[in-house]
Amino acid sequence: MDRLLYVAMTGAHQTLRAQAIVSHNLANANTNGFRQDLADFRSMPVFGEGLPTRVYSMAERTGTDLRLGRVMTTGRDLDVAVQGEGWLTVQAPDSTVAYTRAGDLQLDANGLLTTADGNPVLGSAGPISIPPAEKIEIGADGAISIRPLGETSSNLVEVDRLQLVKLPENNIYKDANGLMRTNDGQPAPLDASVRVVGGALESSNVNPAEALVSMIESARRFEIQVKMMKTAEETSNATNQLLRLE
């Protein structure tokens, strides 16, 4: 009975872990540029002294769903939606290079261009700093142009350019901050073919209906595991009664 109980117990525990991943996806259904995590189950032998006669269930994040989100027009000057398979390059909290699709860019009090989470956006020579301007425009190639304060001319002056890259799907992972990184830690090369749409944002690729269905399935799976633990207990009690009769 201990084998049944162990499998059911670990199954219930790992189901809660998988449900946490789905909950995280659902919570970010309205987060710009968010890529949902994928979760799966597999059985793992319990290794120790002797033969591995026990197995347990293990839920793991098998990867990230890289499907594109929906592009929404906002009309805001600092909003950009990356087209196709491209990515924006940012400076992560640990000062290393990371990548994102979240294009709701902001200017801080010092004119530093950042993501909504406060990560500096990288340009031709590092973090992008934009001087005070009457107008800011981001071109399809990532060029950032401004009309300086006090200027009446319609001509714009280019001040920097977004670092736009393409990432190989088999060489990236998502870190704890929701940023994409390369497995080897090396910066991806710039790709001139990547284009952005100014005044637009890409939504999360989470389908709320699918996430809710996954939540319900996880809840039912947890109930089944609990019932299996109860069955193991009842079977063990019945066996003990039979042994006492002998």
Q: What is the pLDDT of residues 21-64, one digit of tens each?
A: 899 999 999 999 999 988 776 666 777 676 666 666 666 666 88
Checking if the pLDDT of 170 tops 60, the result is yes
Element (H, E) at 163: none
Express each pLDDT in 116-141 by its tens digit: 999 999 998 899 999 988 889 999 99
What span, in angstroms and rounded, lies between the C-alpha atoms of 121 and 98?
10
Report the first-to-last Cα separation within the chain, whole angstroms: 20
Q: How does residue 12 score in pLDDT terms, banded at 50, 70 and 90?
A: confident
DSSP 8-state symbol, 22: H
Strand partners, 20: none
What span, in angstroms and rounded, lies between the C-alpha atoms of 67 and 60?
20
- Mark out the alpha helices in the chain (DSSP H runs): 2-27, 208-245
Region of residue 106 (phi > 0: left; psi between -120 and 50: alpha; otherwise: beta): beta
Checking if the pLDDT of 150 tops 80, the result is no
Q: Pick the closest to residue 194 from 51, 118, 85, 64 (CA basis).
A: 85
Q: How does residue 96 score in pLDDT terms, banded at 50, 70 and 90?
A: very high
Question: Exposure of 196 by Cβ count < 10 A (0-12 exposed, 13-18 middle, 19+ buried)?
Answer: buried
Q: Please give the pLDDT value at position 61.
A: 61
As a whole number, mean pLDDT of residues 67-74 equals: 93
As a whole number, mean pLDDT of residues 167-187 equals: 88
As a whole number, mean pLDDT of residues 87-97 equals: 94
Q: Please give the pLDDT value at position 44.
A: 67
- DSSP 3-state of 12: helix
DSSP 8-state symbol, 71: E
As a whole number, mean pLDDT of residues 152-164 equals: 86
What span, in angstroms and rounded, lies between the C-alpha atoms of 31 and 102?
8
Mean pLDDT estimate for the chain: 86
